[in-house]
Amino acid sequence: MILLSAVGVGLLIGIGKARWQGQIYRLPPLKFFWLVALAYLPQLLLLALTRKQVVVPVETAGIMLVISLGMLMVFVWLNRHLPGMPILLGGLIMNLAVIAANGGLMPISPQTASQLVSGEARPALEPGGRFGEKDVLLPEQEMRLEFLSDRYLLPAWFPYKAAFSLGDALVGAGALWFLVANQREER
């Protein structure tokens, strides 16, 4: 959600800035963009299986997530010379570190997760269980690199409830910077 919001806001600001300056909005050329689509395939498969109530073992889900992050990191590395990409890469590295250190899924504490679900679902938040497609519920004292976990919440006024990590925030900031600092052509 953080990344989608950053992309939406970045495009709006980038296009608005270009129009304000009397220019055409153009993104810098991205190398190997097909890696992005390929990187999201494991995550989309995991999402589809979970939505169909197919139980994907934690180990398999973890491997799928690490492969996805690895491909995204390769794509960002190949485009590291573009604005925002070093920040985006830093966020991906943070997310990969915390995910790898905690068995392949992003850790979230039951306390944080309880703020995202309704009262009826709260009793199901057992440590060690899955939360959504990509998170695992762990008490903070059992997490490795806890400060990099999904521990931050969107503001209460935001129309969507979500937890995010420091890495997610950097990924969003890098994407926003990339989309705002675009190459422009005169009309």
- pLDDT at residue 120, as a whole number: 64
Of 52-61, 120-129, 163-172, the least confident: 120-129
- pLDDT at residue 131, as a whole number: 83
Which one is predicted more confidently, 155 or 96? 96
Share of the chain above pLDDT 70, in %: 93
Structurally, how many domains does the chain consist of? 1
Predicted confidence (pLDDT) at residue 180 exceeds the cutoff of 80: yes
pLDDT tens for each residue of 54-76: 878 888 888 999 999 999 999 99
Which residue intervals of 21-163 are DSSP H helices? 34-51, 58-78, 85-101, 110-114
pLDDT tens for each residue of 127-138: 887 787 788 999
* Domain extent for 174: 2-186
The pLDDT confidence band at residue 1, using thresholds 50, 70 and 90, is low
Phi and psi angles of residue 53, each rounded to the nearest 5 degrees, phi first: 60, 30
Of 1-10, 80-89, 104-113, the least confident: 1-10
User: Over the chain, what is the mean pLDDT?
Assistant: 89
Mean pLDDT, range 147-165, rounded to an integer = 92
CB 186 within 8 A of CB 96: no
Distance CA 88, CA 129 (A): 29
| Residues 6+ positions from 76 with CB-CB distance below 8 Å | 85, 88, 89, 92
Mean pLDDT, range 137-143, rounded to an integer = 94
Of 53-62, 116-125, 177-186, the least confident: 116-125
Distance CA 148, CA 133 (A): 18
